[in-house]
Structure 1
Amino acid sequence: MVPPLVADIDGTLTRPDKSIDLRVLDPIRTWEAPVVIATGKAFPYPVALCEFLGIEIAVIAENGGVVFLEAADEVAYNGDPEGAAAVAAEYREAGHELGWGAVDPVNRWRETEVAVSRDQPLEPLVEIAERHGLAVVDTGYAYHVKSPAVDKSRGLEAVAGLLGHEPSEFAAVGDSENDAELFERAGRSFAVANADGAARAAADTVTDGSFADGFLEALERLHPSA
């Protein structure tokens, strides 16, 4: 049996320069079970990826803050967007920036959390977030200010039910601490070789390959004829 799949984007489907590795496209398109894209990116990004892949839109965005399954025709929101906005405002008042420029495409369409560039100071961000009852997660690509009650594993529980599966039926592939809870909830889990310590510790298997090479290696282990 080919298991349903839940896959991260950055660091997992990509090259080191953050561009999508084109070798992953056809294996995802032809996977013989549902595929869910789970990411820290804002909601439009995984939706667009599903559109361009030509697969059913099934996404966990913003680290679990947004869950959408096309067939269900309903978006589920979780988290504390007002709290995240308050943290961002206080962070700016303290003399810091989110770090993405005036247009801020990283947060422009973000609905449940705030992302801060990793070249900005982390310690004051964590202190401010804690005062507001929020957490900061370092994905290796940004610092995400989010509700501690929200993560990808809870997103998987929601989308799996809509797809008629148990979370434990899924195989998960990722690279970051925001995938650790997902790995603990999925039935099988793979951290690609470039994954951080939290993801590697939570995963059942750490691949030999990094980035998209590791993702393709995980698919081969799950379904050798794929």
Structure 2
Amino acid sequence: MAPPLVLDIDGTLTKPAGGLDPRAFEALPAWDAPIVLATGKAFPYPVALCHFLAIPELVVAEHGGVVYADDEVRVTVDSERPKAAARAFVERGGDLGWGGADTVNRWRETEVAINLDADERLLRDVAAEFDLDLVDTGYAYHLKTPGVEKGDGLRSVASVLGVDPAEFVAVGDSENDVSTFEAVGESFAVANADERARAAADHVTEGAHMDGTLEVLAALR
């Protein structure tokens, strides 16, 4: 029987130029074990992706800040400090970089994402002042409460499912996947992964992005 999976989204289920790889719509619904989507994206994004993939909605969003399983949403941290830090960043001349509507953060509950074009030095100064972590996922900076990790979110979902986290296989591509790799029994970094993810993973795939993920699925079958 196939093992349960915990999959990152950006860089792992996407095409090199961005956007979801359409092969996910064939590969994931056919998987005969639970699939948890664990991402830094705002909560509605992975829920919607589960919906369109027609797989059960098992979600770790916002780096573990929001967890969803068995029809229960759990927000694990207070979101006010990251929001206050983001306001301070803007007041001091910073720009979140998403335009007026800011759909990147509009539905985000526990952290704030900032465009990679932002003033990193100012952003790091503000993060330190507010005692926040600043995570670079390769797609955005994220102001988040220390101690909130994807791996903890995965453990929470696994507990709801009655599955040992060690039974899961994880696939990811960035530093925010390291805690997930540490929580599971076997982990894979796709070839485009950053150095921290590659160092933490049990294996590094030959293929990048969705090619790497499909390589893992084929090997597990």
User: Do they superpose with TM above 0.5?
Assistant: yes
Secondary structure at the residue paired with 1:86? helix
- In structure 2, the partner of 1:121 is 119
Secondary structure at the residue paired with 2:89? helix
Counterparts of residues 87-102 of structure 1 (less than 5 Å): 87-102=85-100
Match 1:136 to one of 134, 137, 148: 134
Following the alignment from structure 1 to structure 2, what is the Cα–Cα distance between the partners of residues 95 and 131? 16
In the TM superposition, residue 80 of structure 1 has moved relative to its aligned partner by 3.3
Contact 2:13 2:24 in 1 (8 A): yes
The CA deviation string for residues 16-58 of structure 1, in whole angstroms up to 9 with x for no partner, is 1211111122211011110000111000000000000001100
The answer for unaligned runs of 5 or more in structure 2 is none
- In structure 2, the partner of 1:154 is 152
- How many residue pairs were aligned? 221
- In structure 2, the partner of 1:74 is 72
In the TM superposition, residue 74 of structure 1 has moved relative to its aligned partner by 1.3
Following the alignment from structure 1 to structure 2, what is the Cα–Cα distance between the partners of residues 168 and 145? 29
Contact 1:167 1:186 in 2 (8 A): yes
Secondary structure at the residue paired with 1:22? coil
Secondary structure at the residue paired with 2:127? helix
The answer for unaligned runs of 5 or more in structure 1 is none
The CA deviation string for residues 96-139 of structure 1, in whole angstroms up to 9 with x for no partner, is 11000000010000000000000001121112112211100000
- In structure 1, the partner of 2:42 is 42
Contact 2:94 2:122 in 1 (8 A): no
Secondary structure at the residue paired with 1:30? coil
Contact 1:37 1:60 in 2 (8 A): yes
Contact 1:39 1:63 in 2 (8 A): yes
The CA deviation string for residues 76-107 of structure 1, in whole angstroms up to 9 with x for no partner, is 11233100001101101110110000000100
- In structure 2, the partner of 1:111 is 109
- For the aligned residues, what is the CA RMSD? 0.8
Query: What is the TM-score normalised by the length of structure 1?
Result: 0.96
Query: What is the TM-score normalised by the length of structure 2?
Result: 0.98
Following the alignment from structure 2 to structure 1, what is the Cα–Cα distance between the partners of residues 72 and 127? 30
Amino-acid identity (%): 57
Match 2:165 to one of 164, 167, 173: 167
Following the alignment from structure 1 to structure 2, what is the Cα–Cα distance between the partners of residues 96 and 74? 36
- In structure 1, the partner of 2:208 is 210
Query: In structure 2, what residue type is equivalent to 1:57?
Result: E
Secondary structure at the residue paired with 1:219? helix
Following the alignment from structure 1 to structure 2, what is the Cα–Cα distance between the partners of residues 98 and 2? 41
In the TM superposition, residue 195 of structure 1 has moved relative to its aligned partner by 0.3
Query: In structure 2, what residue type is equivalent to 1:91?
Result: F
Following the alignment from structure 2 to structure 1, what is the Cα–Cα distance between the partners of residues 24 and 105? 26
Following the alignment from structure 1 to structure 2, what is the Cα–Cα distance between the partners of residues 168 and 98? 38
**Is the aligned partner of 1:19 residue 2:19?**
yes
Following the alignment from structure 1 to structure 2, what is the Cα–Cα distance between the partners of residues 111 and 25? 28
In the TM superposition, residue 222 of structure 1 has moved relative to its aligned partner by 1.3
Following the alignment from structure 1 to structure 2, what is the Cα–Cα distance between the partners of residues 86 and 56? 35
- In structure 2, the partner of 1:145 is 143
